[in-house]
Amino acid sequence: MIDLHLLDIKDWGSEPTRKGFGRGLVLAGDADENVVALCADLTGSVQIAPFAEKYPERFVEVGIAEQNLVTVAAGLAHSGKIPFAASYAAFNPGRNWEQIKTTAALNDQPVKVIGAHAGLYTGPDGATHQMLEDIALMRCMPNMVVIVPGDSVEAEKATVAMAKDTRPNYLRLARDNTPIMTTSDTPFEIGKAYVFSPGKDITIVATGTMTSVALDAADKLFHDGIDAEVIHCPTVKPLDSATILTSVRKTRRVITLEEAQINGGLGGAVCELLSEHDPVPVIRMGMKDEYGQTGTPAELFNHYGLTAKHVMMTAHEMMS
């Protein structure tokens, strides 16, 4: 077992994943002058600002026009650039899905679609801004790679990796502070899932910031006599089938965990894999075919059953 250099739960830090993206974009820009950035009137919010300040000649402000955002990016990619096109996930890819499909994915251009403020962490803004369908939307698009980093440190690494990836990519980011679980030495590779906490009784596959919830639950479950294995799955597409199937051969039961629609999301992806290769009982935790609402993230996670306590209850239910 390789050392993943994870922090102990008691040592976890806190930062929004978008901050890591902002740092990663500057690093990617330092490394390759073809890296460019586009934004739709949210430069500070989606953390494009550090790049735009350092490389103003490589930054394009398109205004509040998300269709233009990705199609201009596709034109830049056509001509050899590696464009990072950022807005809120509710609009990018919420509004411009067809443009992403036709001009980026069908053309197989390395357009990097950055969906910030995704999921329930956009709490008080309400249902219109809580993008919960993005994983499903982007996962069904041929050629597209879907990345949901677990924390800001991983988001930084993912951004640097995306700049080197020749495919169109989607990166999902959250607004609020979320736990920092990983360190600069923790490995990240597009397409790889990682066993963040080994166990033998039940597999919890989590993506994005929900991995911290899974780890918290697994830690407490251990004291209840349940040895849960937590797989952190920052790339939802292509799914790391081998890592998931290896775990499931051992545990024979699975919980999936995401702050997104389970239909077509990580839950959908894992069920597609298992139903074809190793059918075992699965409980999908996430948004169950409903929209969010205004509230603090804590209120919302509690209301929609997405806290460590809910994961523990689900694990107990599956074990009994």
Partner 1 sequence: MSSSKNFTDKKRSITDLELMANTIRQDIVKMLEKAGSGHSAGPLGLADIMTALYFDILKHDPNNPSWEERDLFVMSNGHCAPVLYAAMAHAGYLPTSELSTLRQFKSRLQGHPERNTLLGIENSSGPLGSGLSQAAGMALAMNMNKESHRWVYCMTGDGELNEGNVWEAIMLIAKYNLHQITAIVDRNNIQIDGTTEHVMPLEDLRAKWEAFGWHVIEIDGNDMEAMIDAAAMARAIVEKPVVIIAHTIPGKGVDYMEFDYHWHGLPVGLADVAGSPPANEQAKVALKELRTLRGKIKNESHHD
Q: Which residues are catalytic?
A: 66
CB of 39 to partner 1, least distance (A): 12
Of 79-87, 151-159, 196-204, 253-261, the window that binds partner 1 (rule: CB under 8 A) is 79-87
* 108/219 with CB nearer partner 1: 108
CB of 106 to partner 1, least distance (A): 5
Q: Is 237 a residue that touches partner 1 (CB under 8 A)? A: no
How many whole angstroms separate alpha carbon 229 and alpha carbon 250? Answer: 10
Q: Sketch the per residue contact string, 12 through 51, with partner 1: x for CB under 8 A, - otherwise.
A: ------------------------x---------------
How many whole angstroms separate alpha carbon 229 and alpha carbon 257? Answer: 13
Which of 37, 76, 90, 163 lies at the binding interface for partner 1 (CB under 8 A)?
76
Mark residue 227 as left, alpha or beta (left: phi above 0; alpha: psi -120 to 50; beta: remaining): beta
Q: Is 262 a residue that touches partner 1 (CB under 8 A)? A: no
Indicate the SS3 state at residue 60: strand
Which of 7, 9, 65, 271 lies at the binding interface for partner 1 (CB under 8 A)?
65
Retrieve residue 232's tokens. Answer: 């952190």
Give which of 186, 241, 190, 182 is closest to 212, Cα–Cα. 182
How many whole angstroms separate alpha carbon 196 and alpha carbon 233? Answer: 10
Q: Is 243 a residue that touches partner 1 (CB under 8 A)? A: no
* 73/312 with CB nearer partner 1: 73
Indicate the SS3 state at residue 170: strand
Which of 7, 9, 106, 245 lies at the binding interface for partner 1 (CB under 8 A)?
106
How many whole angstroms separate alpha carbon 8 and alpha carbon 24? Answer: 24
Q: Is 87 a residue that touches partner 1 (CB under 8 A)? A: no
CB of 98 to partner 1, least distance (A): 6
Which of 4, 9, 49, 60 lies at the binding interface for partner 1 (CB under 8 A)?
60
Q: Strands across the sheet with 282-287, in order?
A: 194-197, 228-232, 202-206, 254-261, 282-287
Pairing of strands 35-39, 82-88: parallel
CB of 96 to partner 1, least distance (A): 9
Q: Is 74 a residue that touches partner 1 (CB under 8 A)? A: yes
Backbone dihedral angles phi then psi of residue 146, each to the nearest 5 degrees: -115, 120
* 108/125 with CB nearer partner 1: 108
Q: Is 73 a residue that touches partner 1 (CB under 8 A)? A: yes
* Count of CA atoms in the C-beta half-sphere (13 A) of 268: 17
Q: Is 68 a residue that touches partner 1 (CB under 8 A)? A: yes
171 contact partners, CB below 8 Å, separation of at least 6: 21, 112, 113, 114, 115, 147, 148, 149, 155, 158, 159, 162
CB of 65 to partner 1, least distance (A): 4
Cα 42 → chain centroid: 20
Q: Is 166 a residue that touches partner 1 (CB under 8 A)? A: no
Q: Is 81 a residue that touches partner 1 (CB under 8 A)? A: yes
CB of 135 to partner 1, least distance (A): 23
Q: Is 140 a residue that touches partner 1 (CB under 8 A)? A: no
Q: Which residues bind partner 1 (CB under 8 A)?
A: 36, 57-58, 60, 62-63, 65, 67-68, 71-81, 83, 98-99, 102-103, 106-108
